[in-house]
Amino acid sequence: MQRLYQAHNEIEAQLLCDYLATSHIAATMLGRYQSAAAGELSALNFPWVWVLEDRDLARARQLLEEFLARRDTPATGGDWQCVCGTLVEAEFDLCWHCGRERPR
């Protein structure tokens, strides 16, 4: 098991784990509940994403770069309407109602 990335929060860590899973890389989040106790601790600890198989680390690092680039790139276009009829905000690539991807 190899440490890959210290996330800013649990949501970012879970999104990265899910992103890695789409490429069949098993990952887990450790330190999940530490940020909730930040008021009690002298130093903040944020969740880490760990790659379970050492052989997947190099590919996971490539995917991490893609994930961070997508996160830091402003959304193009405006809000979009899914085929299910739901209006979805521009920053999202998946419909919150049915889970379909934004049309390209």
Q: Given this model, what pLDDT does residue 76 score?
A: 60
Alpha helices in the chain (DSSP H): 10-21, 57-72
Task: Please answer whether residues 67 and 19 qualify as being in contact, where contact means their C-beta atoms are separated by less than 8 angstroms.
Answer: yes
Start-to-end C-alpha separation, the chain: 36
For the chain, percent of residues with pLDDT exceeding 70 = 82
Q: What is the mean pLDDT of residues 12-36?
A: 87
Q: What is the mean pLDDT of residues 40-53?
A: 78
CATH code (residue 26)? 3.30.70.2350
Q: Given this model, what pLDDT does residue 91 score?
A: 80
Q: Per the confidence metrics, is the pTM higher than 0.85?
A: no
Q: What is the average pLDDT value for the chain, to the nearest integer? A: 85
The total of structural domains in the chain comes to 2
Residues 6 and 40 in one domain: yes
Q: Given this model, what pLDDT does residue 51 score?
A: 97
Read off φ and ψ for residue 31, nearest 5 degrees.
85, 25
| Range(s) of the domain holding residue 22 | 2-73
Residues 79 and 43 in one domain: no
Task: Give Cα 91 to chain centroid, integer Å.
Answer: 14
Residues 6 and 30 in one domain: yes
Computed from CA positions of residues 67, 16, 47, 38, in that sequence, does the dihedral angle turn out positive or negative? positive
Residues 80 and 34 in one domain: no
